[in-house]
Amino acid sequence: MGKRAAFRLQPVLELRRTQERAAAQAAAQAANAAAEADRHATERETALVGAHPPVSSTAGAFRASMALLRVAAEDAAAQRSLATASAEQAELVRQQWTAAAQRTKALERLKDRHAEAIRLADQAAEERAVDDLVTGRAGRPRAGSAAEEMPWTG
């Protein structure tokens, strides 16, 4: 398997593998960011569950308490929206990783086919060489060549 056995798309395959590794890393980072955003949103929502306005207070304190609770609820809703957007972004990045892996896999299949074709060609050449040795044609030119033997007419 000399020079003819070189897989000409090897540089492209290496590039695809590098792209796949980068996409996998980006997918992991996006998934971590989505999980962190979800955790923050859950913390904010949990903090709101136990929050109640004071029972015995003045009207001004009650209004201030309600305003703070409203702001906290809006903050929790914004955090949940951020978590949802982060999860959607993580899914898009995961899909890009999947696409990169599919491109890499396609080139790897081409490389495997190439290697199999080379192996079969080498095997066929070896079988021809053995056949030539067995039939005694080794060292003699093949039929159809310029130095063809003339039949004996005796």
Q: Whose CA is closest to 72, among 56, 50, 91?
A: 50
pLDDT digits (tens, 9 = 90+) for 46-58: 888 877 777 777 8
Q: DSSP class of residue 147? A: S
Output the pLDDT for position 12: 95
Output the pLDDT for position 61: 85
Output the pLDDT for position 36: 96
Low-confidence ranges of the chain (pLDDT < 50): 1-2
- Judge residue 76's burial from the number of C-beta atoms within 10 Å of its C-beta, 0-12 exposed, 13-18 middle, 19 or more buried: buried
Residue 153: both structure tokens together: 């007419």
Distance CA 21, CA 29 (A): 12
Residue 84: both structure tokens together: 């949802």
Output the pLDDT for position 75: 92
Output the pLDDT for position 1: 44
Distance CA 119, CA 112 (A): 10
Question: What's the number of CA atoms in the CB half-sphere (13 Å) around residue 50?
Answer: 4
pTM for this model (two decimals): 0.68
Output the pLDDT for position 96: 96
Position 73, amino acid: A
